């Protein structure tokens, strides 16, 4: 039945493809003339592979091998180069020195946000991630203070994570030693933390509504990382109003938006300004306080978009990191055993708390190395220049898209010798204390640096310690056969699929 449906859908997609191609060719001619007019600017940009009209360099970049292509350009053109995704130039920054010079030494000019067309078509520049200027400042500041745990009621964020980690332990216990793919359970529990923070409710892992929310979030993310997602990224102006698979991507986002709007309406009905329960409540109170202020960005559209941002930025990232971490611990059982020793020494049988982190440098070093090694957002999130800027002898015009290629920082051999090696010890000094590196930037750096860092770190620590306090992770696969190399999509790194089983320690 279901295979029939897909068969029937194929010709439609193909026809659409043909039409789209035809339009593309026509537009090429128009744009060729237009690009010629623009070539004056191009001479000021960093060098790069010569672009064709309209399509730019996309014929030289395969979607599955985007990172490989970028690496080849880096070898040829150096640590700063320009690639045209379609007719727009994107400046690529490689290695710690270059990324630091832009995001930290020139932090304001490089603080704009580049295009994210799929999201743009649903949340239209509202919220934290896709906004700029004054709106972005207000939204970001608010998210940062709220996530730091002010005014979110009696239960701290730490307690919410501790509670969820215990639920995960329960679910792991139910597997009774059978081997399972941890993706689903980790996804549920990490999403629940965002649910708890944003609208004050956690769901059981078989709640249908919850599962459809997760399905829609991963559906949208999967689309963005797919081949079609890339095509949409290049040609969104053209495709936005045409049929095609991108409409499904947009649909996922629209559904999540409707879901968040419902939670907002519910919260408004039951709001008590003296006892706010969660992020949405805090935002609603701020909206009421700011009612007379015409410059205020606190209104419904920004509330819904900001909440959606937290879901999209805060779920897959953290659960993918954990899943990668578990895989590394399966491959290196001796590292797992050392964490368990540290847990026994510092925590014992009580519930792990955020405070324990300062006393557990080994565990922290492993988490750092998991993040460095897993490198889950290799291209970074696109930035844009807010002004014309002279940089390394080039002139980058205002509004140019800039990619800080985080993978080239986390794997910069000058910063991290033998970057391909999974080695937590690189984060420890000879006294066994945690060693910090400026080049350790899985959360990026500068003005746009991830505002969820504190939350993510707390989650990674509490989940990892709670699980390893209760279980030992094992697998029947021999360690030589466990492959830590990433499964690449166009923009993300994912661990390869694997199964594990958990053996209770008590
Ligand atoms: C391991 C987990 C995470 C990683 C690796 C990660 C990484 C990143 C990166 C690389 C960026 C782009 C920064 C830039 O533009 O240069 C970012 C932005 C962002 N992240 Fe995270 N993140 C994680 C978890 C979270 C969590 C848990 C939340 C929230 C609850 C969150 C919320 C955000 C938001 C709102 C932005 C946009 C910031 C802005 O545009 O000003 N992230 N994150
Ligand atoms: C998820 O998407 C489905 C299908 O589009 C929709 O019926 C459902 O309401 C959505 N759920 C949520 C929570 O967004």
Q: And the tokens for 128?
A: 């934290």
- Read off the DSSP letter of residue 113: E
Q: What is the Cα–Cα distance from 421 to 411, expressed in whole angstroms?
A: 10
Q: And the tokens for 170?
A: 């329960």
Find out whether the beta carbon of 318 lies less than 6 Å from any atom of ligand 1. Answer: yes
Q: How far is the CA of 263 from the centre of ligand 2 (A)?
A: 14
Give alpha helix (H) positions in 270-405.
Answer: 279-289, 300-314, 316-331, 333-346, 361-374
Cβ atoms < 10 Å from Cβ of 138? 19
Ligand 2 mutation target, pool 221, 223, 255, most atoms within 8 A of CB: 255
Q: And the tokens for 158?
A: 């730490």
Ligand (nearest to CA of 216): 2
Q: And the tokens for 58?
A: 């996309």
Q: How far is the CA of 205 from the centre of ligand 2 (A)?
A: 17
Write out the chain's pLDDT in tens, 506 residues. 344 444 444 555 566 666 766 666 666 555 554 555 455 455 599 999 999 988 888 888 877 778 889 999 999 999 999 999 888 899 999 999 999 999 999 999 999 999 887 777 788 899 999 999 999 999 999 999 998 865 566 678 999 999 999 999 999 999 999 999 999 999 999 999 999 999 999 999 999 999 999 999 888 888 877 777 777 777 777 788 888 888 888 898 999 999 999 999 999 999 998 889 999 999 999 999 999 999 999 999 999 999 999 999 999 999 999 999 999 999 999 999 999 999 999 999 999 999 999 999 999 999 999 999 999 999 999 999 999 999 999 999 999 999 999 999 999 999 999 999 999 999 999 999 999 999 999 999 999 999 999 999 999 999 999 999 999 999 999 988 999 988 866 567 888 999 999 999 98
pLDDT on residue 68: 87
pLDDT on residue 7: 42
pLDDT on residue 9: 46
- Read off the DSSP letter of residue 417: S
Please provide residue 474's backbone torsions phi and psi, each rounded to the nearest 5 degrees. -135, 165
Find out whether the beta carbon of 129 lies less than 6 Å from any atom of ligand 1. Answer: yes
Q: How far is the CA of 212 from the centre of ligand 2 (A)?
A: 6
Fold of 64-504: Cytochrome p450 (1.10.630)
Q: How far is the CA of 308 from the centre of ligand 2 (A)?
A: 14
Nearest CA to ligand 1 atom 31: 452
Ligand (nearest to CA of 107): 1
Every domain of the chain and the residues it spans: 64-504
pLDDT on residue 451: 95
With tokens 């000879």, the residue in question is 430
Find out whether the beta carbon of 314 lies less than 6 Å from any atom of ligand 1. Answer: yes
Ligand 2 mutation target, pool 122, 203, 212, most atoms within 8 A of CB: 212
Q: How far is the CA of 1 from the centre of ligand 2 (A)?
A: 22
Nearest CA to ligand 2 atom 6: 255
DSSP state string for 363-380: HHHHHHHHHHHH-SSTT-
Which residues surround ligand 2 with Cβ inside 6 Å?
Answer: 209, 212-213, 216, 251, 255-256, 259
DSSP state string for 215-238: HHHHHHHHHHTSHHHHHHHHHHHH
pLDDT on residue 378: 92
């Amino acid at each position: 039945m279901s295979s029939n449906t897909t068969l029937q859908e194929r010709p439609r997609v193909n026809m659409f493809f043909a039409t789209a191609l035809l339009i593309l060719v026509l537009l090429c001619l128009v744009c060729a003339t237009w690009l010629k007019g623009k070539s004056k600017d191009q001479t000021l940009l960093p060098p790069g592979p010569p672009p064709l009209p309209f399509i730019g360099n996309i014929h030289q970049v395969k979607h599955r091998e985007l990172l490989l292509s970028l690496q080849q350009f880096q070898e040829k053109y150096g640590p700063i180069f320009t690639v045209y995704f379609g007719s727009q130039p994107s400046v690529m920054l490689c290695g710690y020195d270059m990324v630091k010079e832009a995001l930290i030494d020139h932090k304001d000019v490089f603080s704009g946000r580049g295009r994210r067309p799929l999201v743009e078509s649903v949340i239209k520049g509202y919220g934290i991630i896709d906004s700029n200027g004054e709106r972005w400042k207000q939204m970001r500041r608010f998210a940062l203070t709220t996530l730091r745990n002010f005014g979110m009621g009696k239960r701290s964020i730490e307690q919410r994570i501790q509670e969820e980690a215990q639920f995960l332990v329960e679910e792991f216990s139910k597997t009774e030693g059978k081997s399972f793919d941890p993706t689903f359970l980790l996804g549920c529990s990490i999403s629940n933390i965002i649910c708890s923070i944003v609208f004050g409710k956690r769901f059981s892992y078989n709640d249908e509504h919850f599962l459809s929310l997760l399905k829609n979030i991963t559906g949208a993310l999967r689309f963005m990382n797919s081949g079609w997602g890339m095509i949409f990224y290049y040609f969104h102006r053209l495709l936005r109003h045409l049929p095609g698979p991108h409409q499904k991507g947009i649909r996922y986002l629209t559904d999540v938006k409707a879901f968040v709007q419902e939670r907002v309406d519910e919260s408004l009905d039951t709001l008590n300004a003296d006892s706010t329960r969660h992020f949405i409540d805090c935002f609603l109170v701020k909206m009421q306080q700011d009612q007379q202020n015409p410059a205020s960005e606190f209104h419904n559209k920004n509330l819904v978009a900001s909440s959606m941002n937290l879901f999209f930025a805060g779920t897959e990232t953290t659960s993918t990191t954990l899943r990668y971490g578990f895989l590394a611990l399966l491959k290196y059982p001796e590292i797992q055993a050392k964490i368990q020793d540290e847990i026994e020494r510092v925590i014992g049988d009580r519930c792990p708390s955020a405070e324990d982190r300062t006393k557990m440098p080994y565990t922290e070093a492993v988490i750092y190395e998991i993040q460095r090694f897993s490198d889950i957002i290799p291209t970074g999130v696109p930035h844009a220049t807010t002004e014309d800027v002279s940089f390394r002898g080039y002139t980058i015009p205002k509004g140019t898209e800039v990619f800080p290629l985080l993978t080239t920082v986390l794997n910069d051999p000058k910063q991290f010798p033998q970057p391909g090696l999974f080695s937590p010890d690189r984060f420890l000094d000879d006294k066994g204390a945690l060693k910090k590196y400026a080049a350790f930037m899985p959360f990026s750096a500068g003005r746009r640096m991830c505002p969820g860092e504190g939350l993510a770190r707390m989650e990674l620590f509490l989940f990892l310690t709670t699980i390893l306090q209760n279980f030992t992770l094992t697998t029947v696969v021999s360690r030589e056969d466990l492959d830590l190399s990433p499964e690449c999509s166009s923009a993300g790194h994912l661990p390869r699929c694997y199964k594990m089983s958990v053996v209770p320690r008590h």
